[in-house]
Copies of this chain bind each other. A is one copy, B any other.
């Protein structure tokens, strides 16, 4: 059973203000919760169905959990259906990150759509990128839709939110690459080993202030007539080219 008080707590975590207040976030569904339990995030609460319990009894042996119904999970969470589990975990502190030697760092400039941002985390994780810098107006990493779309990759990437101009003033990146409409053909670019790659918002692209700072503007070559690509697809294509070129 989920108590009324717990239900109201869980529902509050769909809102950024309450996630910040409680320093907690929601993780929903079997895949994401299993990745959470295998990570260094601190688990606060765990609600599981009988079904999930039966499939993962050894894993749950040393954990506090509550048995709940599917209906309760659907009421408490953001998923349309969830026959497995919901976890609450502690958010991490917003700790300064920068590129180590030979490291690629992804920079999200005002990415607003949680589905896109979660997918970008998954792409970063696929391509072995572990650090993300988010602008202050970028969607919250701990938004339940970001967590869900990342398919567990939220456990393997670190996020640091910052004013991007202030951040770049501090780290003074030697290689600041960004995806723009009128840049150099991606297929002709050699990517250095240490790199910041900026991806801009769905509607506006990279902000003017940051565009001015780019050391290399890159453009995905177009062979047909679509006006643009979705920002997650663009990130995937650029990361693939980057890893191919860095080897």
Contact = CB atoms under 8 A, between A and B. Distances in A.
A29 interface: no
Contact of A228 (B151, B221, B234, B236): B151
A50 to B, nearest CB: 24
Contact of A125 (B129, B224, B232, B234): B224
A223 B243 contact: yes
Contacts of A9: none
Interface in A93-138: 119, 122-130
Nearest to A243: B223
Interface of A: 119, 122-130, 151-153, 156, 186-187, 220-230, 232-234, 236-237, 240-241, 243-244
28 contacts: A119-B230, A122-B230, A123-B226, A123-B233, A126-B222, A126-B223, A126-B225, A126-B226, A126-B229, A127-B222, A127-B223, A128-B223, A128-B225, A130-B224, A151-B226, A152-B226, A152-B227, A156-B224, A156-B225, A187-B244, A221-B243, A233-B233, A233-B236, A234-B236, A236-B236, A237-B237, A237-B240, A240-B240
